[in-house]
A and B are shown apart, each in its own frame.
Chain A
Amino acid sequence: NAGVTQTPKFQVLKTGQSMTLQCAQDMNHEYMSWYRQDPGMGLRLIHYSVGAGITDQGEVPNGYNVSRSTTEDFPLRLLSAAPSQTSVYFCASRRDRAHHEAFFGQGTRLTVV
């Protein structure tokens, strides 16, 4: 039972490069979210989706793009990486609007140099 799977686990980018962080869940959850974790700031919501084809911005969306073409996948795109995007990124999924418990992936540690 895989749950929420994130790839890669680690990534180093140069400033200005683009990349996609992958997130997949096999629980048929409607809701999926991306968070970034920075020291002293907890987890902050970047983007979220309440179903295939529906996405919305969270607290810190600038510099990131998302799409949700299938229920299972919710990739996060960095369009032009900046050092301020150095962080640990977590993907989470939730069954639906009535179920608030979130399940998290293991995280992607991204360093932008």
Chain B
Amino acid sequence: AQSVTQPDIHITVSEGASLELRCNYSYGATPYLFWYVQSPGQGLQLLLKYFSGDTLVQGIKGFEAEFKRSQSSFNLRKPSVHWSDAAEYFCAVVRADKLIFGTGTRLQVFP
């Protein structure tokens, strides 16, 4: 069963615009949630994580994400996108002690 869904395969934004990448999870207990970023030809870098507590978490590079239990969502946001943010973004959840990834969202940034 799919644990993590990223409904947007590809998103294009203009530099300076705001960004929201969607992530929905299916898991009964309080999940451990992550956002990773992958620049072209690179490995994955952790942007931020949620385990418990404050539902709004801050990450690196100006990103933040909000955990909403009622919507089973963990959307990633950034108020002003930079050209260097162009990359692929993956949402992930820990299920049965294993890290399970969504299918990813590719972000394209226009100048």
* Chain A interface (Cβ < 8 Å from any Cβ of B): 4, 33, 35, 40-45, 48, 50, 58, 90, 92, 94, 97, 100-102, 104-107
Q: 19 other contacts beyond A42-B102, A92-B44, A92-B99, with CB at 8 A cut-off?
A: A33-B99, A40-B9, A40-B103, A41-B103, A42-B6, A42-B90, A43-B44, A43-B90, A43-B101, A44-B101, A48-B98, A50-B97, A94-B99, A100-B32, A100-B49, A100-B94, A101-B34, A102-B44, A102-B99
Main secondary structure on B side of the interface with A: strand
* Chain B interface (Cβ < 8 Å from any Cβ of A): 6, 9, 32, 34, 36, 42-46, 49, 51, 90, 94, 97-104
The closest CB in chain B to the CB of A4 belongs to B43
Compute how far the CA of A43 lies from the CA of B99 in the bound complex, rounded to whole angstroms. 10
Q: Which 3 A-B pairs give the minimum distances between C-beta atoms? A: A42-B103, A104-B43, A43-B101
Number of A-B contacts (CB under 8 A): 51
Q: Within 8 Å CB of B51, what residues of A?
A: 100
Shortest B107–chain A CB gap in Å is 15
Give the interface centre of B34, B49, B103 by most chain A CB atoms within 10 Å.
B103
The closest CB in chain B to the CB of A56 belongs to B98
Give the interface centre of A48, A100, A102, A104 by most chain B CB atoms within 10 Å.
A100
Compute how far the CA of A107 lies from the CA of B38 in the bound complex, rounded to whole angstroms. 11
Are B98 and A58 closer than 8 Å at their CB atoms? yes
Are B32 and A106 closer than 8 Å at their CB atoms? no
Compute how far the CA of A33 lies from the CA of B90 in the bound complex, rounded to whole angstroms. 17
Q: Within 8 Å CB of A48, what residues of B?
A: 98
